[in-house]
Structure 1
Amino acid sequence: MTAETPIKIGNIVDVEITGLQKYGAFVKFGKSRGLIHISEVQSGYIADIHEVIETGQIKRAQIIDIDDYTGKISLSLRTLEKQPQSHHIQRKFHFNNPNNKIGFQPFKDNLSDWTNEQMAYLKKVKSEQL
């Protein structure tokens, strides 16, 4: 992409990683800046973005969104993979994994213990007030 080429969704650009946060990577390309959200770095779950990419790296990315109001540009490395997985596949794996303590089941499993603890605390507070 040359300097004269307008930035459009779908364009593929070479970006430099300029900063990393737990939620994604800040990048620059030409005179523009953007963000690659952690979910767009690669297919599959990423626990720590610092283990996957580094500041200063040059990567090929695809523009996936441009906010018309703020001008913010979202990019993706995942869309350029040979066989990118959708987020639905990742969610299905994550939610169907019995080792993951997510959703309402852990809440349901612990609710009676939490209720008993709270009732004991309230009885203690009430007896101290008398």
Structure 2
Amino acid sequence: MKYEGWPDEGELVVGKVDDIEDFGVFVDLEQYQDKRGLVHVSEVASGWIKNVRDHVNEDQTVVAKVLGVDESAQQIDLSLKDVNDHQHSDTIQEWKNEQKADKWLTLAFGEDMADDQFRRIANGLLADFGSLYDGFEQAAIHGHEALADTALEDDEIDAIVETARENVSVPYVTVTGYVSLQSPDGDGVDTIKDALQAAEGNGEVPDEVDLDVTYVGAPEYRLRVQAPNYKTAESALEAAGDRAVDSVTAHDGSGAFHRERQLDDDA
């Protein structure tokens, strides 16, 4: 998707070198519809420039900083030298992400999707999330809840969530904790099983959280949580531990949640 309108002063934009002259470089902006900017020779690189072609090539993809915009004159002034390596790599990655999200919209709604529907949905995601990619990423992580406050229709939300979960690679973090569970009753085995099932959530674990409970060595069990961020992961881990402890103590057993594995005195 290419934006309508004009870039803002100070914005970093991706473009392709279209023409090279002694006085500067013309760049077609990849993110804006029918927009072209000029990099004056003094803004191509730091220091004295003998030959502009020593610094850029035609059809080269570049990242430029917008120095000024004159809509009445249809002019956009750009700088290449004001963009550092970190800004260049981040901007290129963001641009590539938006290209992916463009394709995901087509996957979600088909090649025959009407232009007005495409722009309405795309503009809605941009308004709510800042980028198409971030909208899809949040849909992949949080599902329908992420899009609940948007102006999208229910069937459109369904299509975006389904496509996001099939295509978006979500970064996950992993945290680990332990619960010690004991029950002196004759039905102690069943009590512990119930506590472990409680730890696993009984349907209470959010969709974006992956929770695994494994046996370590009596009376200890490992809780392993994967989630999109540490706040969510830590919250889910503590909740799992609390559920297990509450369950076992409700049947006159004892339990404790801890972050490090507890070693026997003889270990």
- TM bucket (normalised to shorter chain) is 0.5 to 0.7
Give the secondary-structure state (helix, strand or coil) at the position aligned to 1:39.
helix
CA distance in 2, matches of 1:67, 1:9: 10
User: Residue in 2 aligned with 1:36?
Assistant: 39
Structure 2 residue 59 is the aligned partner of structure 1 residue 56: yes
Once the two structures are superposed, what CA deviation does each residue of 1:74-127 show, in whole Å capped at 9, x if it has no partner? 000111136xxxxxxxxxxxxxxxxxxxxxxxxxxxxxxxxxxxxxxxxxxxxx
* Separation in structure 2 between the aligned mates of residue 16 and residue 61 of structure 1, nearest angstrom: 10
Q: How does 1:1-130 map to 2 (within 5 A)?
A: 3-4=3-4, 6-29=6-29, 30=32, 31-81=34-84
Measure the CA separation in 2 of the matches of 1:33 and 1:7: 11
TM-score (norm. length: structure 1) = 0.57
Report 1 or 2 for greater relative contact order, CA contacts < 8 Å, sequence distance ≥ 6: 1
Cα shift at 1:5: 7.0
1:46 alignment partner, SS class:
coil
The CA deviation string for residues 21-78 of structure 1, in whole angstroms up to 9 with x for no partner, is 0000001113210100011011111110011111000001110011243120000011
The alignment yields a C-alpha RMSD, in angstroms, of 1.9
* Number of corresponding residues: 82
Distance 2:72 2:17 in 1: 24
Larger Rg: 2
Q: Equivalent residue of 2:82, what SS?
A: helix
* Structure 2 residue identity aligned to 1:7: P
CA distance in 2 between counterparts of 1:51 and 1:6 reads: 30
Structure 1 residues 6 and 70, CA, compared in 2 at 3 Å: closer, same or farther? closer
TM-score, normalised relative to structure 2: 0.29
